[in-house]
Structure 1
Amino acid sequence: MRLNVDGLEIEVTRKSIKNMYVRVRPPDGRVTISAPYRMPQRQIEDFIRQHRLWVDRQRRKIIDAHREGLARIGAVPEASRDPAAGKSAMSGGAGAPYHSQSVEDGERPTDPALIWTEQRRREAAAVIESALPALLGYWGPIIGRTPTHVTLRLMTSRWGSCTPSTGRIRLNLQLGLMEPRFLEYVLVHEMTHLWARGHGAEFQRRMDEYLPNWRRTRRELNRQAIV
């Protein structure tokens, strides 16, 4: 099903889901929406209008990258957003110093669709590295501590980890191919471990203060496959 919303062509797919998800796909900025079976068309159109600025911004990024010869099939991660994502800290805050590197951790799947090529690693790392200064600049003053190093890894069993004694945080490189809110949640989660080592009362109290909906985001993230 195709819709034209104020001049923007949208490809709509009906699914057995509860929320809508809009995605901007490389290399040409094609916009797609996954929507519940019974959701009225008017509600879909209103959702697009509500998020039009975000959609246009993502389309410009993808199209510009393609024009500059940087977009490659299977390399540029698609941008996505859902109505429950809320305001992201990625849009504000000053940059913060950090060091990052990309390394591998464990075996990778043999399915060609899931293989991490060098191009895909570079692109995923670029997405995270471009977001980190704003995220650290925003959350550092709120949390009161910042990592000494941020390392990007291809992990097989977790989304992130922290060593409080050294201030080092490791993030799963796959977060660079996912919705920005997941990267933000994992970073805040690991930065909170700079105060609280485990997941006890102190950790939960701080997370409730920083990200009131963190439990929901954690559940949604844990439904994703780590590849």
Structure 2
Amino acid sequence: MSTASAYMTVRGIDVDVIYKDVKNLHIGVYPPMGRVRVAAPSRLDDDQVRLAIIQRLPWIKRQRQELQDAPRQSEREMVTGESHYVWGLRRRLKVVERPGRAHLEIDGERLVLYVSPDASPETRRKHLDQWYRQQLRATLPDLIAKWEAKLAVSVPRWTIRRMKTKWGSCNRETRHIWFNVELAKKHPDCLEYIAVHEMTHYFERNHTEKFIKLMDTHLPDWRGRRDELNGSPLAEEEWK
């Protein structure tokens, strides 16, 4: 069966399109972030597929909203024995209660939190969030510099923030790039994919054929990285 792929943005929604030898067009919305995937007959062109997506937008938006509203695993209690991910690796949390300034560190396969005995779970979660941001702030400068050189561009500003539905975003006019703090939990290849993806938007605003060709040229395995990232929960994926 012959197939071809496209990547388009419809009314602000990113859509993966696979053209294959099928009779009917099928639209699916997948967890955890509401990724939209279309299987379209090979006889259709991009404009026809785009029109079909627009006609189904109310349904697509309802499905995405249901996924975003779905109950997630309860917030971590931040106690010894819980599992948390750091750069794609699962680490057991060890909480050491002691006076003084709170901080986290990696000790072998453990993630150790030194914290005041009276610190609440919310306070402990805030310390962990800050630590994840520190991990990204330590990693991103070299990564961005690497791709600034490869793409012959400059990233004047980048920010780490918590986002509910995106791993990253880019303002093409100001060239400001945002990275989801959750990326510190994922494999470093996923962070690099997001960096290259957002920087490629400097050249092409939407996910057009030109955008895909640029990604194919500069990061040939980007689809595998994207699938690995999109196959991961956006948040609260740790378990006891």
The TM-score with structure 1 as length reference comes to 0.52
Distance 2:196 2:187 in 1: 15
Distance 1:168 1:176 in 2: 19
In the other structure, the counterpart of 1:25 is: 91
Task: State the SS of the aligned residue for 1:158.
Answer: coil
CA change 1:122–1:151 in 2 (3 A) is same
Aligned-pair CA distance for 1:215: 0.9
In the other structure, the counterpart of 1:136 is: 144
Number of residue pairs aligned between Structure 1 and Structure 2:
132
Richer in strand (by share)? 2
In the other structure, the counterpart of 1:72 is: 113
The TM-score with structure 2 as length reference comes to 0.49
Task: State the SS of the aligned residue for 1:62.
Answer: strand
Gaps of 5+ in 2: 1-87, 95-104, 115-120, 236-240
**Aligned match for 1:151, one of 159, 167, 178:** 159
Distance 2:200 2:150 in 1: 10
Distance 1:127 1:146 in 2: 22
In the other structure, the counterpart of 1:177 is: 185
Distance 1:118 1:24 in 2: 19
**Aligned match for 2:219, one of 199, 202, 211:** 211
**Aligned match for 2:107, one of 38, 41, 63:** 63
1:127 aligned to 2:168? no
Task: State the SS of the aligned residue for 1:147.
Answer: coil
Aligned-pair CA distance for 1:166: 0.2
Cα offsets for 1:67-113 (capped at 9, x unmatched): xxx9318xxxxxxxxxxxxxxxxxxxxxxxxxxxxxxxxxxxxxx8x
Maintained 8 Å contact 1:149/1:169: yes
Gaps of 5+ in 1: 1-21, 29-60, 74-111
Task: State the SS of the aligned residue for 2:178.
Answer: strand
Distance 2:141 2:157 in 1: 12
Distance 2:196 2:183 in 1: 13
1:224 aligned to 2:232? yes
Q: Give 1 or 2 for the bigger CA radius of gyration.
A: 2
**Aligned match for 2:176, one of 168, 183, 190:** 168
Cα offsets for 1:56-77 (capped at 9, x unmatched): xxxxx8228x8xxx9318xxxx
Quick one: percent identity of the two aligned structures?
32
Task: State the SS of the aligned residue for 1:71.
Answer: strand
Aligned-pair CA distance for 1:27: 5.8
Cα offsets for 1:153-180 (capped at 9, x unmatched): 1110010000010010011110011111
CA change 1:177–1:116 in 2 (3 A) is farther
In the other structure, the counterpart of 2:72 is: none
Maintained 8 Å contact 2:186/2:229: no
Cα offsets for 1:126-184 (capped at 9, x unmatched): 11111112101211111121321111111100100000100100111100111111111
Distance 1:27 1:157 in 2: 27
Maintained 8 Å contact 1:160/1:170: yes
CA change 1:116–1:226 in 2 (3 A) is farther
Distance 1:116 1:206 in 2: 42
Q: Which is worse superposed, 195-204 or 159-168?
A: 195-204
In the other structure, the counterpart of 2:34 is: none
Distance 1:121 1:23 in 2: 17
CA change 1:147–1:115 in 2 (3 A) is farther
**Aligned match for 1:198, one of 196, 206, 216:** 206
Cα offsets for 1:110-132 (capped at 9, x unmatched): xx8x9992112111111111111
